Amino acid sequence: MRESLVERGLLEIYRFLPPPLLERFDPEQITDIDEFLSFLAKARVVQEMEEHILARAISAVFSEG
């Protein structure tokens, strides 16, 4: 179970974190779960920002008249 959670977290991290933040991310070197969760939290913040940007863009397109 834990491995699948880590794998899902890694997918989110690699999908949403920009390259400058990924330069410091090496999953082989992470020994502390708090460090991993810190990267995952950053990825989720970026994900939420992307969702809000997309929602505003869609709203703007449909509200143009």
pLDDT digit string (tens) for 27-55? Answer: 999 888 999 999 999 999 999 999 999 99
State pTM to two decimals: 0.82
Contact status, residue 40 vs residue 52, Cβ threshold 8 Å: no
**Every domain of the chain and the residues it spans:** 2-63
Indicate whether 58 pLDDT > 80.
Answer: yes
Q: Residue 20 and residue 34: Cα distance in Å, rounded?
A: 20
Structure tokens at 57: 């863009």
With pLDDT > 70 as the criterion, what percentage of the chain qualifies? 97
Structure tokens at 53: 């940007």
- Quote the pLDDT of residue 64: 75
- Quote the pLDDT of residue 3: 80
- Quote the pLDDT of residue 65: 58
Burial of 47 (0-12, 13-18, 19+ CB in 10 A): middle
